[in-house]
Amino acid sequence: MNAAEHLPALQVVLPLAAAPLAVLIRHRLTAFLLVLAAIWSAFAISVLLWLQVGDSGPISYAIGNWPPPWGIEYRVDALTALVLMLVSGVAAVVLPYSRASIEHEIASDLHYLFYAMFALCVAGLLGIAITGDAFNLFVFLEISSLSSYVLIALGRDRRALVASYQYLLMGTIGASFIVIGVGLLYLETGTLNMMGMAIRLQGLTGDRAVLAALAFLTVGISLKLALFPLHQWLPNAYAYAPSAVSAFLAATATKVSVYALLRFYFSIFGETAIFQRLPMADFMLLLALAGMFLASTVAIFQQDLKRLFAYSSVAQIGYIVLGISFDSVTGVTATLVHMVNHAVTKGAIFLLLGGVMLSLGGITLTRVQGMGRSMPLTSFGIVLCGLSLIGVPGTAGFVSKWYLILAALEHGQYWLVGAILSSSLLAVVYVWRFVEVAYFRAPLPGDEVRREAPLSMLIPAGLLVVATIWFGFDTSLTVGIASDAAQELVRSGR
Amino acid sequence: MSLLSHYSYGAMVFLLMAGLYIVIGRGNLVKKLVGLGILQTSVYLLYLAPGKIVGGTAPIVSEDFSLYSNPLPHVLILTAIVVGVATLALGLALVVRIREAYGTIEEDDILGCDRQSEAEEPSP
């Protein structure tokens, strides 16, 4: 019995067990420390798993010692390791931040429930990434979704309740579609194991049940992914949720859905000839472009900064899906790099906005004017992240757009380079709106004095801002893992 | 393999569409959740119906029987039912909170309330 062998199970079990314990303890400091310990160890485990995968290739772990076709298999490969590190890493940064942040947003007798839900949400997201069983993926998806509905509903504004309810409707429809897709695949192949499905689907060209499964899975995952035009739930959910929750969900929830999409498209359907028969790539390309342009345009006209950056998230998801639609190693690398870079950037922005909310009491553009003087560090951080959203060289966003453009050139679609650049110009406009208001307008009366957010909130946000810049210069970590994962995915296909 | 022998799929599609229609077409938040429940039920049917084999018995090893029905879908759907119950409970809890905050559970009225309070917000 070697503890290292059981790391894949511990990865999910630790946060999952921390949640009910936190509810039983009912004491907010103890609950916080418990969940913090669970999530920091989950991050350590994800790094260990990544090292293990690097040394000895994909890990397969049989839950309860039932071998794969019968039992549930946990499977860790380069892609899984990347998503695990992203989710647990962001959670490890956001959780210490949330302690100061929810102090002002959630009644203090509910704090232990917040920590429990947070741990549950992390467990669900990690589970989606690590499981090798298609039905198990649905169960973890629901664990993470149900807990995120609760987290969003904890927002101070009553509109948070409606946003959460709408997300619940859309999310449940999405999850039901996913489970219908999985059911059809199960009827077709007789197995729920992803590897098993892939083997039995090999060489299929146009079975109607498989096509229906592909359609249901695409729509279902796109709902969770907030792919344009199925993004309606996202802006309100991010805008009215507590700051720490907005940051965590913006950085991880949609990214894990990207993972699910890649897993189904490349690992399961990869060896079928479906993509050659259906214009899937053109279809995804169209939706990605629509998202990039329309959502960025809508972002320009927002008054509330959280909503502005939420619409920008929908646009960035467009870039992520654009990479998938190329169906090549470079394209998927671009997708994965942008997934990480955007998670770090958007996480940092929402953490900083939480500080603004706390100090100034509002985040509408009229409220934050002159913020460059009263909160210089925070404003500077938001501007740096904004540059990364635009894709200015020296920031993380540049690296991912560079790879997207490389993939477009490799594909021979030169006009796409123009599309990527011109949609970046729209990002310039909405980031500039913040810069103009924060730096070129006089502060509101009473805002002249310096009042940054407390250090316990500035430090986690600062960490992510530094990561945004770091990933812009040192790409060995992000691009390294991403290209390994992309090669694994796309090679398993063609 | 006639159309009739596949009637369970027909029922499943009908339930799916009926549920989806109620979720989209009704403005009452509780009715929407009812629709969501019907939609989820259609999924249960999709899994359960093909698990039954005509003439098959429960999977208990015995020399008298050689044809068994597949028990796995039942286990899966048991999980899905639990998820459905949790979703419904959470949804209803949210509706209670929405009623407390807005005094109504009609979607149009809630949107009206939001527009009104947004208009009333002082714009500096």
Give me the domain span that covers residue B88: 4-54+67-120
Q: For residue A73, what is the DSSP state?
A: E
**How many CA atoms lie within 13 Å of A237's alpha carbon, on the beta-carbon side?**
29
Please indicate, yes or no, if residue A417 is contained in any of the structural domains: yes
At residue A282, the pLDDT reads 84
% chain A with pLDDT above 90:
40
DSSP string, A280-308: HHHHHHHHHHHIIIIIHHHHHT-SBHHHH
Q: Classify residue A366: in a domain, yes or no.
A: yes
Is A493 inside a domain boundary?
Answer: yes
- Report the C-alpha gap between A104 and B91 in whole angstroms: 26
C-alpha to C-alpha distance for A68 and A75, rounded to whole angstroms: 10
The answer to whether the beta carbons of residues A346 and A251 sit under 8 Å apart is yes
Judge contact between A246 and A308, C-beta under 8 A: no
A/B interface, count of CB pairs below 8 Å: 70
- For A58, the 3-state DSSP assignment is coil
Nearest CA in chain B to A183: B47
Q: What is the mean pLDDT of residues B62-69?
A: 82
Instruction: Return the closest-CA partner of residue A319 out of A431, A407, A447, A193.
Output: A407
Residue B59 lies in a domain: no
| Helix orientation angle between A476-493 and A329-360, rounded to the nearest 10 degrees | 130
- Residue in A164, A156, A38 with CA at minimum distance from that of residue A91: A38
How many other CB atoms sit within 10 Å of the CB of residue A220? 28
How many residues appear in chain B?
124
Cα–Cα dist A217/A269, whole Å:
11
- What pLDDT score was predicted for residue A206? 65
pLDDT band at B123 (very low <50, low <70, confident <90, very high): very low
DSSP string, A130-192: HB-BHHHHHHHHHHHHHHHHHHHHTSSSTHHHHHHHHHHHHHHHHHHHHHHHHHHHHHHHS--
Nearest to A334, CA basis, from A314, A360, A316? A316
Residue B62 lies in a domain: no
Compute φ and ψ for A63, nearest 5 degrees. Answer: -65, 130
Residue B83 belongs to a domain with what CATH number? Answer: 1.10.287.3510
Residue B64 neighbours by CB distance under 10 Å: 5
User: Residues of A with CB below 8 A from B46's CB?
Assistant: 180, 183-184
Is residue A443 a contact partner of residue B124, using CB atoms and an 8 Å limit? no
Residue to substitute from B29, B42, B52, B76, interface A, most A β-carbons within 10 A: B76
pLDDT at A273: 63
Domain membership flag for residue B61? no
Q: Is B44 on the interface with A (CB under 8 A)?
A: no
Separation of alpha carbons A242 and A164, rounded Å: 12
- Residues A398, A465: contact at Cβ < 8 Å? no
Shortest CB distance from B87 goes to which of A138, A146, A192?
Answer: A146
Low-confidence winner among A97-106, A180-189, A203-212 (lowest mean pLDDT): A203-212
Average confidence score pLDDT of chain A: 88
Cα dist from A366 to A300, A380, B122, whole Å: 15, 18, 11
Helices (H), A103-130: 111-130
Say if B124 is an interface residue toward chain A (CB within 8 Å).
Answer: yes
- Please state, in angstroms and rounded to a whole number, the distance separating the CA atoms of residues A184 and B47: 8
For residue A19, being part of any structural domain is answered with no
Contact A464, A93 (CB under 8 A): yes
Distance, in Å, from the CA atom of B45 to the CA atom of A10, rounded to the nearest integer, reads 34
Q: Residue range A385-391: average pLDDT?
A: 90
- Report the C-alpha gap between A305 and A368 in whole angstroms: 9
Closest CA to A121 of A268, A234, A264, A18: A18
SS3 content of chain B, % helix, strand, coil (to 5): 75, 5, 25
CA angle A118-A121-A123, nearest 5°?
110
Lowest mean pLDDT among A28-37, A190-199, A205-214, B79-88: A205-214
List, for residues A267-295, the tens digit of each pLDDT value. Answer: 888 766 666 677 788 888 899 999 999 99
Cis amide linkage into residue A68, ω under 30° from 0: no
Domain that holds residue A406: 279-494
Interface test with A, best of B23, B39, B94 (most A CBs within 10 A): B94
The pLDDT of residue A320: 92
Q: Which of A110, A138, A165 to mutate to test the interface with B (most CBs of B within 10 A)?
A: A165
Spatial contact of A165 and B98, defined as CB atoms under 8 Å apart: yes
Q: Is position B9 within any domain?
A: yes
Contact A315, A439 (CB under 8 A): no
Work out how many domains chain B is built from and give that number. Answer: 1
Least confident of A58-62, A357-361, A465-469: A357-361
Residue A214 has pLDDT above 70, yes or no: yes
Question: Considering chain B, what is the average pLDDT of its residues?
Answer: 87
Q: Which tokens in the block code for residue A85?
A: 């590190």
Tell me if A117 is assigned to some domain.
no
Selecting from B32, B50, B124 the residue whose C-beta is nearest the C-beta of A366 gives B124
Question: What pLDDT, in 10s, does the model give residues A402-453?
Answer: 999 998 998 888 888 888 889 999 999 999 988 988 888 877 777 667 778 8
Which candidate from A146, A158, A183 shows the least CB-CB separation from B90? A146
- The answer to whether A28 touches A112, Cβ cutoff 8 Å, is yes
Q: Tell me the HSE value of A346 on the side-chain side, using a 13 A CA sphere.
A: 31
- Nearest Cα residue in chain B from A145: B87
Q: What is the pLDDT of residue A88?
A: 94
Q: In the numeric block, which tokens belong to residue A148?
A: 């995120």
Residue, of A77 and B120, whose pLDDT is higher: A77
Q: For A304, which residue in chain B has the nearest alpha carbon?
A: B118
Q: How many domains does chain A have?
A: 1
Residues of A in contact with B79 (CB under 8 A): 135, 139
Cβ atoms within 10 Å, residue B57? 13
So what's the pLDDT on residue B124? 41
Give a yes or no: residue B45 inside a domain: yes
In this structure, is residue A377 part of a structural domain? Answer: yes
Residue B28: DSSP 8-state: B
Q: What percent of chain A has pLDDT over 70?
A: 97
Nearest CA in chain B to A70: B72
pLDDT, average across residues A47-59: 88
Sequence-distant (6+) residues with CB within 8 A of A273 are A203, A204, A205, A206
